[in-house]
Structure 1
Amino acid sequence: MAKTTKKTVPAPTPAAESSKMGKAALIAEVSSKTGLTRQQASGVTDSVLNAVIEALQAGQTVSLPALGTFSIKETAARTGVKPGTTEKIQIPAGKKVAFKVATGLKGTL
């Protein structure tokens, strides 16, 4: 008979439980690091996000030091294939949001 050993797996830490940080978690983090109430931190977070969105809608580039740069990129018109069929369709030109990671953050990932 072969002897088996039981491996113990450490309990996951809160950061390891989820690979995604949502808005509520971001607000909680801002609140705990700044001493603001959750309501105040929510207002600050909403204001920052709205400022970024408004700048992008105006065609501006948004640079956040240590995080990266958001910008608007033009996409060219192109021919695509309709899913589920082989029918070719024309996809119109448009715009998309691009993000370039800051070199300092990139080096720590």
Structure 2
Amino acid sequence: MAKSSTKAAAAKPAAKAAAPKKAAAPAAETSEKIAKTQIIDMVADRTSLNKKQAGESVAVMLDVVVEALKDGKSVGLPGLGTFSVAKTAARQGVRPGTSEKITIPAGKKVRFKVASTLKGNL
């Protein structure tokens, strides 16, 4: 029994040491990424809209951007940058597991060019 109590005692300090790391992780995530709900809260705070209206506004804005990109149009957001659709050519690739050569088909991808005003302020 003495061995199991020693293991339990050894496990407790490790648990205490791990707890501060978990507390620090959300703070790091908050500074690195802003979620859609946080954007909605910010819009609601800075405007006369309530959270439901702000959520609808943000959702509609994002839908409009996505629809425009699907139609092949570019979307300019002053002070932020420009989203555009670029065609990619077919190319040769290698399958990682087997090293077999494969052809990657032509497609499209979204590009983003940062506005010079934002780039200068970073």
Runs of 5+ in structure 1 lacking a partner?
Answer: 1-11
Cα 1:57–1:81 change in 2 (3 A) is same
TM-score, with normalisation over the residues of structure 1? 0.83
Cα 1:85–1:17 change in 2 (3 A) is closer
> Which runs of structure 2 are paired with 1:21-36 in the superposition (5 Å)?
21-36=34-49
1:44-75 deviations in Å (ceiling 9; x for gaps): 00110011011111111100000000000000
How many residues end up aligned between the 2 structures?
A: 97
TM-score, with normalisation over the residues of structure 2? 0.75
- Give the share of equivalent positions with the same residue, in percent: 55
Look at both structures and tell me which one has the larger radius of gyration over its CA atoms: 2
The separation in 1 between residues aligned to 2:62 and 2:27, in whole angstroms, is: 23
Runs of 5+ in structure 2 lacking a partner?
Answer: 1-23
Cα 1:87–1:16 change in 2 (3 A) is closer
Q: 1:95 aligns with which of 80, 98, 108?
A: 108
Runs of 4+ in 1 over 4 A off after TM superposition: 14-17
The separation in 2 between residues aligned to 1:66 and 1:79, in whole angstroms, is: 38
